[in-house]
A and B are shown apart, each in its own frame.
Chain A
């Protein structure tokens, strides 16, 4: 085994550092790690949930982007994918699940029903006309149901948002939910 060559000049020393040391901001580093491990909650409501399952399965493979571990409890999740129609009966439970998630947390409204009520907007006497009435939504993915590619695109938007956040500014911009009053 040969001894490493002694670095003789300051110039050589600088060149060596360039190969071995990365300089970045802590914000960027943490943002990069967080955006590649956005864990969604297992939370299927309706038709969109079937496409969400397809996104998790082998053809589309959401695992490639670090969001494979669908967590069974809101307390371990970063992302709530609201996949399917939210009805009046389900809405209080959706909000409770959101409240149980730890900060920082994100909401992706998947499908026309969660965006606005979708096909059920006009005569849906039992349908919540958009999930943003009870929880703040980060990304809307339209479609009825959206294709798995569209859901992945929504995830990338979430990732962009996560990557831009700064650790000193953890309180995310977004309205607190205000509904649910008699």
Chain B
């Protein structure tokens, strides 16, 4: 047992119900009355200082409890499960890099737990999401409303007993948000001389790519207050995952962050592999690094192109999108699809690289710097552009961490936190690259970090192509890989193995695991719970955009409306990932 679990148990003997330490992930199940004292202690006083809330999610344990009622020893690897619901907090200590999972047990009757939204600002929206999808109330939460589903939604969709065929009627009663925005009319700040007016931006606003909505209170052209509403693209990724086999989830992950689909594939498959204890061959790791970095470049290209279009710089869009087409040509040759690739498999990748792909990627790498320099030449000394992004939409490092920022937006506040360095995976420790940072935390920094990161990604791809080892691209683990055709036709074990994998899908042993990958927007984590059947019990995606966008309202207060558009572009909020 790790030291932190022992210390936790010693400090809170009656609140800590059980602890476990599987797959290198310390976990503690606690009584719900201990949530606030334990979180405050872990954050401020414990030896490790768990100062970063990576994720907050809910799990409905109805089926686990049912299985245990029949057979008390069932699903022992899932640990203690005293009550139906669990609210799962994933904490991270930024100083030591260690992670900790705290699970608060919440009974079905009096389904509530204390809020921690005053400790971490990022918990605010995450708790609303748990309330929306599981019906767990958070006592003391400042604004406990539905966040993803339509506000008149009946039931809680991610509960295991939610009957999916229940038709939810549409209606024109929309989410007005006026209650959150406060008073209008005469402006008290100047004795009623000016007037405060509400203006609605989105969800179909030309400058909010994707369906994002803000309601702002304006004093002249200055935004006094703004509130956000999300969920206009809530497609139910997590519910679909629970009803698919483990392999069938892969196409759904494509559609989370559709600008960098392959990165999502990699993140999900890594999480399943961690849960199953599979190690992929070295060549696969290199291939994953190559496609992940190409996806990162594509994501940054789309982000920059769209942001610059919003600021009126249209020619940059042509330069950047032309490069993106080149990258897509390579990826299309590799897997047959442009956008939604589904290329990565649990235990490997679908197919090996060929010489044509490598040639196309090398050509892409030689052309990309020219395009980037052209764009930088157009914007980096452009007075109009600089005035619109420099010193605008500033967020401090403390606020950013409190909101759960990761990725380029956190690095733009001068904090060099990159999971490829902090928790290396897929052999990233062997590559020579720098973690790009900028000190100011404004829109300009967020854009420039993306330019710098693309250059680093190019370095990584070049090194990976140079050092690409030979060998198989699929693991030889019989639990996930189909046997070769000649074996299927030749011996009965292989035939049965083939049949079982086709018929039942891969079987992941009971257990839970959180696995974080550096996505294009930040920490893309998958928290998986398996009950040993052929389907995931719970797939929780930790979307980086969700936490980024939760700070948007705060960032644009005091800005003008056109600045808000610029800030939104630099955050690169992808609705598919935000709403899942």
Binding site for B on A (CB under 8 A): 42-47, 49-51, 53-54, 57-59, 72-73, 84-85, 87-94, 97, 119-120, 122-128, 134, 144-145, 147, 179-182
Contact = CB atoms under 8 A, between A and B. Distances in A.
Contact of B170 (A73, A88, A124): A88
A61 B339 CA distance: 18
Interface in B201-234: 203-204, 206, 209-211, 231-234
Interface centre among B203, B231, B232, B235 (most CB of A within 10 A): B235
Interface residues of B, number: 50
B171 A182 contact: yes
Contacts of A97: 204
B19 interface: no
Specify the main secondary structure of chain B where it touches its partner. loop
Given A50-B302, A51-B338, A123-B239, A58 B210 contact: no
A89 B206 CA distance: 19
A180 B170 contact: yes
Contact of A89 (B234, B302, B306): B234
B34 interface: no
A90 B203 CA distance: 8
A21 to B, nearest CB: 42
Given A88-B150, A88-B170, A43 B235 contact: no
Interface stretch (B58-66, B316-324, B385-393): B316-324
Nearest to A71: B206
Given A54-B321, A93-B203, A87 B232 contact: yes
B105 interface: no
A153 to B, nearest CB: 16
Contact of A47 (B166, B168, B258, B318): B258
25 contacts: A46-B235, A46-B258, A47-B339, A49-B209, A58-B321, A89-B234, A92-B170, A92-B174, A93-B174, A93-B203, A93-B204, A93-B232, A119-B240, A119-B251, A122-B240, A122-B243, A124-B239, A125-B168, A125-B239, A126-B150, A127-B235, A180-B171, A181-B169, A181-B171, A182-B169
Interface of B: 148-150, 153, 157, 162, 164, 166, 168-172, 174-175, 203-204, 206, 209-211, 231-236, 239-240, 243, 251-252, 255, 258-259, 302, 306, 317-318, 321-322, 324-325, 328, 338-340, 575-576, 579
Interface centre among B233, B318, B325 (most CB of A within 10 A): B233
B210 A145 contact: no
A93 B231 CA distance: 13
Given A45-B211, A49-B210, A181-B171, 5 more contacts: A57-B325, A125-B162, A126-B234, A180-B170, A181-B169
A114 to B, nearest CB: 12
Given A57-B322, A90-B233, A120-B235, A179 B338 contact: no
B157 A120 contact: no
Given A88-B168, A89-B234, A90-B211, A43 B204 contact: yes
Nearest to B209: A44
Contact of A85 (B164, B231, B235, B338): B235
B235 A126 contact: yes
B243 A123 contact: yes
Nearest to B238: A123
Contacts of B317: 57
B169 to A, nearest CB: 6
B236 A58 contact: no
Contacts of A84: 233
Contacts of A122: 164, 240, 243
B251 A126 contact: no
Contacts of B338: 51, 54, 147
B114 to A, nearest CB: 28
A181 B575 CA distance: 27
A98 to B, nearest CB: 11
A127 B153 CA distance: 12
Given A57-B317, A88-B150, A93-B204, A51 B339 contact: yes
Nearest to A47: B258
Contacts of B258: 46-47, 50
